[in-house]
Structure 1
Amino acid sequence: MLISDFIARFEAGLARLEQASIQDARRHYDDLCQSFAPADPKGMTVADDYVAGVPVRRFCPAVAPPEQIVFIHGGGFTIGSVRSHHGVAASLADQLNREVVSINYRLAPEACYAAMLSDCINVAQVVKPIALVGDSAGGRLAMDMAPLLNKAMSNQPLLGLIYPPVNGLTEQTLGPDGPLLSRQDVVLCLLPLCPALNSPCLTPAPASQVEVLAVEHDPLTLPLETTVARWRAEGVQVGYHHAAAMVHGSLHGHAMLPEMQNAWQDFCQALRSRLPR
């Protein structure tokens, strides 16, 4: 698939959300994202469950070590679920050869950011993951929960971030508009839901080992690259992976988009190389 075809198909799907109720919009978004997902890897077991009262979906390869990964989906804090990111979580479990626990945290407007963060922390404190991986808004949640988990767990989890929003996002610091995510989307939708994004304070390094995946056409990439450079200067071990010509959300089409697939595999292999053996 060409990236232009992916964008056109995704934009057409998003147009259905504009006049829908929030519940219908969430269902449409889940169906849209799932339409790009490949079949589950052979031998993988998928099961819905509850951890600490929070719904989760477990993805377990046929043969895997006991350590687990926590995955936090994206969707701008208002949409997205374990269904929308099923394909991403299944691929992550397959490539890391670990069970992945995908969290179905509460969403806005019903829940505030603190409640979303609480859901994720409560699950992680039970699972005790060796890594946290977050996509977009889920990447921000992973960044904010990692330091809190570091205080409660003896082993600091590895952190994987997929085009997350960092602090200090303004019209001056954002990069150019990108398909599927504009500067206006960030300013009007993301910033009001996560107060820290408005903070002029520099985003602190959330972990001692971080792998980052970004895409070329995304207003979040420029501030993210600036933050990665600062973390590296501070001595944090940060791997950075960049998908040329790709857009925010194109991870859903990783099985169809060669550039995204290559960057995704590089990101996953870098994570796997840092995991305990």
Structure 2
Amino acid sequence: MSDHRPTPTEPGILAFHKRCEDFYPADAVDADIAQQRVWYNALCAEFDAPSPAGLTRQDERVDGRIPVRRYRPAEIATQTRVFYIHGGGFVVGSLESHDAICAELAHAARVELVSVDYRLAPEHVWPAAFDDCFEVLQSLLADGRPLIVAGDSAGGNLAAGMVLKARAAGLRSVVGQVLIYPGLGGDLKSGSYAEMAEAPGLSTADVAYYREVLKAPSDNAFAHPLKADDFSGLPPAYITSAHFDPLRDDAADYAQRLIADGVNVTYRDEPQMIHAWLRARHMSEGAREGFSQLCRGVSALAGTL
């Protein structure tokens, strides 16, 4: 490990990182996929949290094939729904891995939320996950209700791609996008990819590994949203990044591109956070504040503030 490895100083996020590495080692990507998933599932279970009072879940399938989970909090203040796409580098993650996060977000924003269990790589390379998510998106838009598309990390990539594809398909009921430390196709060589190459929780080498596993074409803007040449007409966005994260500049650059093309954007870089800080929301002050602001951002887009 380099002596110059960038590291935050907040005790809560450092304790979170230590706890993560007890379950999911820093070199996890060197293990086989099955082992990675065992480690990740154990990690997610370690950070499970009680369900908000009165919230209900219902598991369903879209087109008889794609598993989704519908969260209905005790109080729903809008017809707008949230479609949430989980992270995990396209190779790990499930309805269970982000269950507590989805439940708390639905409760705090007072919205119905639907999460998706898309097909994972390497068994299913590009565009399997993208196609699954877009099929769910279309099913949610079928009744004309407004929809916010949200996702973290790999899910943030898919969420941004969904919004671009929805615009191309003329689907006008997508009213917001929420991108949480997303990977959007940066060059892996400059900016935060160089500065934070060895950041705790996610390295630039890890990002390269996940891209190689997914096998998405490098010139496809739905797979690499920063490659899009026009962002006009996209819905307003809430974008949040972690300062100690090689993906930081993807989020910042995307926010600037959206703003330049007339899209209303709220962007936050969480100053002491590392990748995957959502999971630290109950043990880190910075993550707690970041999650609170995220929930407010969703509420603002949904009109429930």
The answer on whether the counterparts of 1:169 and 1:223 sit within 8 Å (CA) in structure 2 is no
Counterpart secondary structure, 2:24: helix
Decide whether aligned partners of structure 1 residues 163 and 40 sit closer, same or farther in structure 2, where only a CA change above 3 A counts. same
Distance 2:262 2:162 in 1: 21
- Residue 107 (1) aligns with residue 117 (2): no
The answer on whether the counterparts of 1:168 and 1:202 sit within 8 Å (CA) in structure 2 is no
The answer on whether the counterparts of 1:74 and 1:135 sit within 8 Å (CA) in structure 2 is yes
Which residue does the alignment assign to 1:205?
231
Decide whether aligned partners of structure 1 residues 227 and 42 sit closer, same or farther in structure 2, where only a CA change above 3 A counts. same
Note the C-alpha offset of 1:105: 0.2
| Greater shift in the superposed pair: 16-25 or 258-267 | 16-25
How many residue pairs match? The answer is: 277
The answer on whether the counterparts of 2:230 and 2:261 sit within 8 Å (CA) in structure 1 is no
TM-score, with normalisation over the residues of structure 1? 0.91
CA deviation vs aligned residue, 1:170-202 (integer Å, no higher than 9, x gap): 222424231010111112323552334679845
Distance 2:28 2:52 in 1: 30
Note the C-alpha offset of 1:168: 3.3
Task: Give the residue type in structure 2 aligned to 1:234.
Answer: D
* Matching residue within 106, 111, 117 for 1:98: 111
RMSD: 2.4
The answer on whether the counterparts of 1:171 and 1:187 sit within 8 Å (CA) in structure 2 is no
- Residue 187 (1) aligns with residue 208 (2): yes
Decide whether aligned partners of structure 1 residues 203 and 101 sit closer, same or farther in structure 2, where only a CA change above 3 A counts. farther
Distance 1:181 1:251 in 2: 14
CA deviation vs aligned residue, 1:142-193 (integer Å, no higher than 9, x gap): 1111122233433233100001112332222424231010111112323552
Which residue does the alignment assign to 1:146?
163
| Greater shift in the superposed pair: 86-95 or 71-80 | 86-95
Note the C-alpha offset of 1:20: 6.0
Distance 2:80 2:227 in 1: 35
Note the C-alpha offset of 1:203: 6.5
CA deviation vs aligned residue, 1:5-31 (integer Å, no higher than 9, x gap): 111110121129567653343243123
Counterpart secondary structure, 1:76: coil
Which has the bigger relative contact order, CA under 8 A and spacing at least 6?
Answer: 2
* Matching residue within 57, 63, 66 for 2:75: 63
* Matching residue within 167, 171, 174 for 1:156: 174
The answer on whether the counterparts of 2:60 and 2:69 sit within 8 Å (CA) in structure 1 is yes
What are structure 2's unaligned runs of at least 5 residues?
1-10
- Residue 273 (1) aligns with residue 290 (2): no
TM-score, with normalisation over the residues of structure 2? 0.83
